[in-house]
């Protein structure tokens, strides 16, 4: 029988995506490097196995596909993707396509797309978010590649994607790496979202002395309001969960060292290359890196144990909620600015509102706020700033006051809130019409004769420094 689409890599994501495709009525041919995994997968697929065509070789996989052939690769990102591409391409014909659905670095996607184009094969970079559950029942999908080849598989992609009021959370963002880039920035924002929630947890635990279950109940409450989101919801649930072995709150038995696979870091690196600085995401990446220095932190705790602090009054729960909301909007503001800068640099013509829309369901950062963000972007962002959107004016005004109190409190109590502090510094910078870069420019001119612009538009572009390096 002829399958509509093929899939290589029956790991967590690939297996669930295959079941999702089959469940939506599309026959899918599957291949896994270790053949025993394929057998076990088909055996566990139940009634859906009628629409699953197992293949034990790449040749058999390709032979089972209707033309033009389309094969999704869902393997470990990096060299494994190149290995699978190298195995598939000699078996394919012009017009066929390969879709990389893993978390690729978009530079790799651009390189692979160019290499396959030489062979008259199409390459699509497809970002998939939503974890195991999303892959099985509807992820958020971010596509980059040639639009004509996307048209061939669009019905399948839209069928398997999450839905928001009936509309699929899948979109084509532009050529080559555009989809993987949007997915990378999604993950960067996810880092910031998670970190900010963790910072509130820290203030309530170490500042207010609340127990995890109490903090969890507060998060569950917030999840009924404007902060309604998957991450706030699961954070509430996690905090209310006891450890089956000890009966203690499960967070209390988890080592406080965070892992990372690199997408947050890629977001920051790419943003810096583009002349941007997503300081809330940087803070979140930094916090994970610092968390891994456990031994250092233990020594530091012993060394500076006696440093007295004189805390301000802790913000109310309502203020923390407002602060979290404002900081979150600031993090998204920075995320959208990266997308905008990359779109300019790579000529992608990215639709930012569409990114907000595909993130509304299926993915890890799904939240009620994304509806408003998408609407705000469609209404037009003053200076490209989400924080200037008229729709968010009230939230930002109230939230900024609460954020300021929260950061002041944290500083006074000696509790680190790197993402909140960076969000506030960014906000205060973006509302300061005259900053302090006049002095930076003078310093640069003094030591390096770099010159400066005068506010009166006058011609003298250097200062009268005695003993400074000679200038032109």
As given in the structure block, the two tokens for residue 195 are 């970190």
- Beta strand 140-144 with 167-168 is unpaired
- What 3-state class would DSSP assign to 469? coil
Q: Check residue 227 and report its DSSP letter.
A: T
The answer to the question of whether 150 is labelled as a binding residue is: no
Choose the binding region for ligand NDP from 22-30, 68-76, 162-170, 248-256 (rule: CB under 6 A): 68-76
Contact status, residue 407 vs residue 417, Cβ threshold 8 Å: yes
| Active-site position among 190, 199, 282, 321 | 190
What residues are paired with 7 via a beta bridge? 30, 72
Q: Which of 63, 80, 238, 413 forms a contact with ligand NDP (CB under 6 A)? A: 80
Q: Which residue bears the tokens 């002095």? A: 439
Choose the binding region for ligand NDP from 78-86, 157-165, 231-239, 322-330 (rule: CB under 6 A): 78-86
The answer to the question of whether 164 is labelled as a binding residue is: no
Contact status, residue 203 vs residue 410, Cβ threshold 8 Å: yes
| Active-site position among 183, 328, 357, 361 | 183
Q: Which of 30, 53, 61, 84 forms a contact with ligand NDP (CB under 6 A)? A: 84
The answer to the question of whether 36 is labelled as a binding residue is: no
Query: Does 188 participate in binding ligand NDP (rule CB under 6 A)?
Result: no
The answer to the question of whether 191 is labelled as a binding residue is: yes
End-to-end CA distance of the chain: 76
Query: Does 216 participate in binding ligand NDP (rule CB under 6 A)?
Result: no
CB of 187 to ligand NDP, least distance (A): 9
Contact status, residue 36 vs residue 12, Cβ threshold 8 Å: no
Query: Does 160 participate in binding ligand NDP (rule CB under 6 A)?
Result: no
CA distance 423 to 283: 9
Establish whether the linkage from the previous residue to 4 is cis, with ω within 30° of 0.
Answer: no
Is 190 considered catalytic here? yes
Query: Does 77 participate in binding ligand NDP (rule CB under 6 A)?
Result: yes
Query: Does 311 participate in binding ligand NDP (rule CB under 6 A)?
Result: no
Q: How many CB atoms lie within 10 A of CB 363?
A: 27
Contact status, residue 85 vs residue 111, Cβ threshold 8 Å: no
Q: Binding-site residue total for ligand NDP (CB under 6 A)?
A: 23
As given in the structure block, the two tokens for residue 352 are 């930012």
The answer to the question of whether 235 is labelled as a binding residue is: no
Query: Does 14 participate in binding ligand NDP (rule CB under 6 A)?
Result: yes
Query: Does 11 participate in binding ligand NDP (rule CB under 6 A)?
Result: yes
What residues are paired with 140 via a beta bridge? 129
Nearer to ligand NDP, 84 or 331 (CB): 84
Nearer to ligand NDP, 33 or 450 (CB): 33
Query: Does 449 participate in binding ligand NDP (rule CB under 6 A)?
Result: no
Q: Which residue bears the tokens 């290589």? A: 8
CB of 190 to ligand NDP, least distance (A): 11
Is 294 considered catalytic here? no
CA distance 108 to 113: 8
CB of 56 to ligand NDP, least distance (A): 12
CA distance 41 to 321: 44
Q: Which of 18, 20, 32, 184 forms a contact with ligand NDP (CB under 6 A)? A: 32
Query: Does 335 participate in binding ligand NDP (rule CB under 6 A)?
Result: no
The answer to the question of whether 140 is labelled as a binding residue is: no
Query: Does 55 participate in binding ligand NDP (rule CB under 6 A)?
Result: no
CA distance 372 to 370: 5
CA distance 157 to 171: 9
Q: Which of 23, 24, 33, 368 forms a contact with ligand NDP (CB under 6 A)? A: 33
Q: Which long-range contacts (CB under 8 A, 24 or more apart) does 31-34 make?
A: 31/6, 31/7, 31/55, 31/56, 31/57, 31/58, 31/60, 31/61, 32/8, 33/9, 33/75
The answer to the question of whether 129 is labelled as a binding residue is: yes
The residue at minimum Cβ distance from ligand NDP is 11
Q: Which residue bears the tokens 């301000």? A: 312
Choose the binding region for ligand NDP from 9-17, 382-390, 405-413, 437-445 (rule: CB under 6 A): 9-17
Contact status, residue 229 vs residue 331, Cβ threshold 8 Å: no
Q: Which of 131, 242, 416, 451 forms a contact with ligand NDP (CB under 6 A)? A: 131
Query: Does 91 participate in binding ligand NDP (rule CB under 6 A)?
Result: no
Q: Which of 63, 83, 353, 430 forms a contact with ligand NDP (CB under 6 A)? A: 83
Contact status, residue 128 vs residue 180, Cβ threshold 8 Å: no
- Nearest 5°: the CA angle 192, 354, 174 is 100
Q: Could you tell me the sign of the dihedral formed by the alpha carbons of 132, 134, 136, 141, in that order? A: negative
Query: Does 74 participate in binding ligand NDP (rule CB under 6 A)?
Result: yes
Nearer to ligand NDP, 132 or 298 (CB): 132
Query: Does 128 participate in binding ligand NDP (rule CB under 6 A)?
Result: yes
Nearer to ligand NDP, 83 or 208 (CB): 83
List the binding residues for substrate: 103, 129-131, 186-187, 191, 261, 288, 444, 450
Contact residues for ligand NDP, defined by CB under 6 A: 9-14, 32-34, 37, 74-77, 80, 83-84, 102-103, 128-129, 131-132
Residues with catalytic annotation?
A: 183, 190
């Amino acid at each position: 029988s002829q399958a509509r689409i093929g899939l290589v890599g029956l790991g967590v994501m690939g297996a669930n995506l295959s079941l999702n495709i089959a469940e939506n009525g599309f026959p899918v041919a599957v291949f896994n490097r270790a053949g025993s995994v394929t057998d076990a997968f088909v055996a566990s697929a139940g009634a859906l196995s009628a629409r699953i065509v197992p293949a034990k070789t790449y040749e058999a996989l390709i032979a089972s596909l209707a033309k033009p052939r389309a094969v999704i690769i869902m393997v470990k990102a990096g060299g494994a993707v190149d290995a699978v591409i190298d195995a598939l391409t000699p078996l394919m014909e012009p017009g066929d396509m390969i879709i990389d659905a893993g978390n690729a670095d978009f530079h790799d996607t651009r390189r692979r797309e160019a290499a396959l184009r030489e062979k008259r094969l199409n390459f699509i970079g497809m970002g998939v978010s939503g974890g195991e559950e999303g892959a099985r029942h509807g992820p958020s999908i971010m596509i980059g590649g040639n639009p004509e080849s996307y048209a061939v598989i669009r019905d399948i992609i839209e069928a398997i994607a999450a839905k928001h009021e009936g509309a699929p959370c899948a979109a084509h963002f532009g050529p080559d790496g555009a989809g993987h880039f949007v997915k990378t920035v999604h993950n960067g924002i996810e880092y910031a979202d998670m970190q900010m929630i963790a910072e509130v947890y820290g203030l309530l635990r170490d500042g207010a002395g609340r127990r995890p279950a109490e903090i969890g109940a507060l998060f569950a409450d917030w999840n009924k309001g404007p902060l309604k989101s998957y991450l706030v919801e699961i954070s509430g649930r996690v905090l209310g969960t006891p450890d089956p072995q000890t009966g203690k709150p499960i967070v209390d038995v988890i080592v406080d060292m965070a892992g990372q696979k690199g997408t947050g870091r890629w977001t920051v690196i790419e943003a810096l290359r583009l002349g941007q600085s997503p300081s809330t995401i940087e803070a979140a990446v930094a916090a994970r890196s610092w968390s891994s220095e456990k031994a250092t932190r233990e020594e530091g705790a012993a060394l500076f144990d006696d440093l007295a602090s004189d805390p301000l009054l802790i913000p109310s729960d309502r203020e923390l909620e407002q602060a979290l909301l404002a900081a979150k909007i600031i993090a998204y503001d920075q995320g959208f600015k990266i997308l905008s800068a990359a779109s300019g640099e790579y000529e992608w013509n990215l639709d930012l509102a569409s990114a907000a829309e595909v993130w509304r369901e299926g993915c890890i950062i799904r939240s009620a706020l994304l509806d408003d963000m998408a609407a705000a972007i469609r209404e037009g962002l003053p200076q490209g700033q989400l924080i200037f959107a008229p729709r968010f004016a009230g939230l930002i005004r109230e939230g900024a006051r609460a954020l300021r109190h929260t950061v002041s409190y944290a500083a006074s109590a000696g509790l680190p809130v790197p993402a909140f502090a960076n969000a506030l510094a960014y906000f205060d910078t973006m509302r300061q019409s005259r900053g302090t870069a006049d002095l930076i420019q003078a310093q640069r001119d003094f030591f390096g004769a770099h010159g400066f612009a005068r506010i009166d538009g006058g011609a003298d572009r250097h200062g009268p420094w005695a003993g400074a390096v000679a200038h032109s």
